Chains A and B, each alone.
Chain A
Amino acid sequence: MTGRPEAATEAATEAATAVAEQVTPDGAAPGEPFAVTLEVGSSLANHTGSWRVERPVYVHRLPPCNDACPAGEDAQGWLYRAEEGDYEGAWRHLVEENPFPAVMGRVCYRPCETACNRGELDEAVGINAVERFLGDEALRRGWRLPDPAEPSGRHVLVIGGGPAGLSAAYHLRRAGHQVTLREAQGALGGMMRYGIPLYRLPRDVLDDEVQRLVELGIEVELHHRVNDLAAELDERSFDATFLAVGAQLAKRAYVPAGDSARVLDALSLLSGAEQGTPPVLGRRVAVYGGGDTAIDAARTARRLGVTEPVVVYRRTRDRMPAHDVEVGEAVEEGIRLRWLSTVAGFEGGELVLEEMVLDEDGLPQPTGRTERLEADALVLALGEEADLSLLASLPDVEVRDDTVVVGSGAQTTHPGIFAGGDAVAGDRTVTTAVGHGKHAAGQIGAWLAGRDLVLPARHELATFDHLNTWYYADAPKQERPRLEAARRTSGFSEVVFGLAEDNALFEARRCLSCGNCFECDNCFGVCPDNAVAKLGPGNGYAFDLDYCKGCGICAAECPCGAIAMEPERR
């Protein structure tokens, strides 16, 4: 037990003596008390813990942000460090899982914020904004990624230098493996470079984070397209292979088009813009599709001088796969959206659009009604698929629906060949790919060691009903400033700015710390039996089961749901 200061007791005894001296009846020795007296603190002999039928225990519950993160980041954990102003500690905690905070802080669609419990209180914590702040801070200050472990003597081939391949290379290298990374293009980054426009991700940020990773000692072979995997594996022996070739083949749709009609796909527009060789588009461009790539293509076209980009989509905005943030910014930039329309033909500078209606299942059905839209070019943004021709020589690698089939261990049907990123089924986002890379690296390490990877059991989810939100003060979200719409379309300047340090700190401190103690002293304060000991900064608290009666007030008043009541064992 804590907090029985001798000084207070002495002062108290002195005061008691003063009283006793004054009122002692005649005959009693001075200083003798006149009434029944009891020893200070004598009730400690009474161990009220024996009354208990339930005991409190400190627990960790899984914060929804962490649960939702495709890259497996411990967002609550690094926010906790950032709250203290320990940005380097926060960044180091973050890069345990993801080596690209500055990229993530710009391109991630932040499922963490969608899941954030604070969203039920006022607004979700701006996790992504803080992540970007940490990432930029690391680049500015030159923080290095953690050193690799001792050499394992194993050599892993990674095919594809996109987010999945780089993430796998990072985690494999950190585990001490030798890593060779083969990339078909002349620069690393994959879709981060050739699919995400400059105004969302300045290339110096990407280059710096990639370079920092490569400097861990990854052997990079650029311009090395792997066309025949079996041949390459014969040529040089690797202990394992990670296949992360992405998906770059644009899906096509049949559009009856005249000879003069200009039809191209979104990826060639985006990568052309990246490589300084943008295609000729004209003044009026229609983009066909409803995903993020369609929006990226339209916004890029706008910056290439197209005055009237139109996105044509066969369903409605609420059913669009593109993320709201992107669509909103596109509309601000003057991009028009045309719902419930398909492209039925393209001839003589005119698109034929057929009007659609949604049936009761929400599927678009043709109406036969058409109208015409003047257009100089049509950009198809209908999705991408993987080019898996390199697997032709390895028929035992199972491919289904144009994606590589992997088990829960990220391994293909060919032992020793693992796969991830856009080449396998799943969400096609940078964050998901980074998560695939990390997951596969862990699995490859275990496979090389000849054992199963045992992941720690996931904690119970810290849902909103576990929180006592009374204790959190209202705090408005700090929004990231953005470039004025009028100034965006004249170039590829970054649209969204970062938070300044003070705002980032404020935002980090909006975190509710769901499911994990943040040392608010509530349990220590609200116990009617003084049965909680405070162990000092960073050390949390401990229950004194000699006196804890098991009332449960500590658990009920814990703001973040880090205390559970368990039945007492007999």
Chain B
Amino acid sequence: MDEHGDAAGTAVRTGPGDSGRTPVKYYQVGSFAVGNRLVALEQRTVQADPERSNALTSGHRACQGCGEALGARYVLDAAMRATGGKVVAVNATGCLEVFTTPYPETSWQLPWLHSLFGNAAAVATGVAAALAATGRDDVRVVAQAGDGGTVDIGLACLSGMFERDDDVLFVCYDNQAYMNTGVQRSAATPPGARTATTEAVGPDPGAPFGQGKDLPRVAMAHDIPYVATATVADLFDLEAKVETAMAVHGARYLHVLVPCPLGWQTASADTVRVARLATESGLFPVFAAVDGQVTSASRIRHRVPVEAYLRQQGRYRHLFPSEDRPGRPDVVARIQAQADANIARYGLLADGDGDGDEDGTRPPGSGVAGSGVAP
């Protein structure tokens, strides 16, 4: 045991390394929770604040346990805090638009525009230009879309926005298919997953391997100032990334994984848990990139095989043996290989922890006394 001094009572927990936030001291109880009665208010998340904006408020018609409703509130409340409440949101068509604004109701508590499915980035560009023309540089613009409105239908406008470096934060809430129209495949649907257009039949059940678009990397290829990924399972990380993004001008991209109980066929209570398993298996890397270069990645705390993630979800049920089917261990192995490739590419395991030994992994900054600044 070391000399006690600073070791007692506190551990250091930081946001992502690129955020530039001062390392925050957290107590040993509930350090990863939304808040904690033992720490000062400013050290808790935005979501712990009873005065948070609730930019997306109650009464919306998202399904029980909707990850997108949760993710959108997380992102926008953080953006509202970062800008003193001066945010305009532009929304593409999609679940988020449909469930928040069934005429004549709206759940939005910030200025919010919806135009078409494919043009959210272009409308946001226009809003930003209008604000600039009127000298309102204090008001910031956030565009948001689902994975369909981002990686498929809205990609042309988005790529243009990136190329022009327009002053917009574009947020993709990725639930990996077209959910409100009945779960059709998008270019963000992962291989092996069952959707209404990639049924679990034939020699290659589910969505095909070798297709789809990795939008965070597409965004990075535009050399825009800031690209990051996040999930609804790590709120500190997500809020820090929004804060970082709002401190930068120019085109920024945030890709948030938001599990969908309907399309993923998961229990509504498991939304956060499934997102956590996606990152802990390495299938969904959580990282940030500045000017096209990866600058930080969230380390896996307790690595799990992809099977732990896939088995939670009915859309992968056909991959596992049951009374009436043999299962597809070969497909599970291919998905595992994808996770392993992510872990290698982004360095998701702590140093010297290549074998995925759980005991070797430590949460960023959970060590005692000041050792916790993420790399």
Contact = CB atoms under 8 A, between A and B. Distances in A.
Contacts of A51: 64
Contacts of A471: 30-33
B331 to A, nearest CB: 28
B276 interface: yes
A530 B109 CA distance: 13
Interface string B103-118: 1111111110100000
A476 B362 CA distance: 12
B58 A521 contact: no
A474 B362 contact: yes
Contact of B8 (A40, A503, A552): A503
B108 A40 contact: yes
A515 B372 CA distance: 30
A553 B65 contact: yes
B111 A3 contact: no
A472 interface: yes
B9 A551 contact: no
Contacts of A2: 50-51
Interface residues of A, number: 82
A37 to B, nearest CB: 9
A1 interface: yes
Given A4-B54, A505-B9, A553-B65, A45 B59 contact: yes
B73 A43 contact: no
A452 B15 CA distance: 57
A8 interface: yes
Nearest to A47: B59
A44 B103 contact: no
In which size bucket is the chain B interface?
A: 35 or more
Contacts of A18: 131, 134, 136, 139
B269 A552 contact: yes
Nearest to A506: B8
A457 interface: no
B60 A529 contact: yes
B64 A518 contact: no
Interface in A36-60: 36, 38-48, 51
Contact of B48 (A8, A478, A521, A536): A521
B33 A19 contact: no
Interface stretch (B21-29, B195-203, B204-212, B322-330): B21-29
Interface string B37-62: 11000001101111111101111111
A12 B106 CA distance: 14
Contact of A15 (B54, B88, B362, B366): B88
Contacts, number: 263
Contacts of B229: none
Nearest to B52: A3
B368 to A, nearest CB: 7
Given A8-B85, A11-B86, A38-B101, A521 B54 contact: no
A84 interface: yes
Interface in A462-490: 470-476, 478-479
Contacts of A550: 64
Contacts of B368: 475-476
Interface stretch (A258-266, A358-366, A369-377, A555-563): A555-563
B86 A552 contact: no
Contacts of B8: 478, 500, 502-503, 505-506
Given A48-B59, A521-B35, A550-B64, A9 B30 contact: no
A407 interface: no
B117 to A, nearest CB: 16
Contacts of B49: 3
Nearest to A530: B58
Contact of A46 (B38, B61, B366): B61
Counting chain A CB atoms within 10 Å of each CB, which of B34, B66, B67 scores highest?
A: B34
Interface of B: 1, 4-5, 7-9, 11, 13, 26-38, 44-45, 47-54, 56-62, 64-67, 69-70, 73, 80, 84-88, 100-101, 103-111, 113, 126-127, 130-131, 133-134, 136, 139, 235, 261, 267-273, 276, 301, 362-363, 366-368
5 contacts: A15-B139, A22-B134, A510-B28, A522-B33, A529-B60
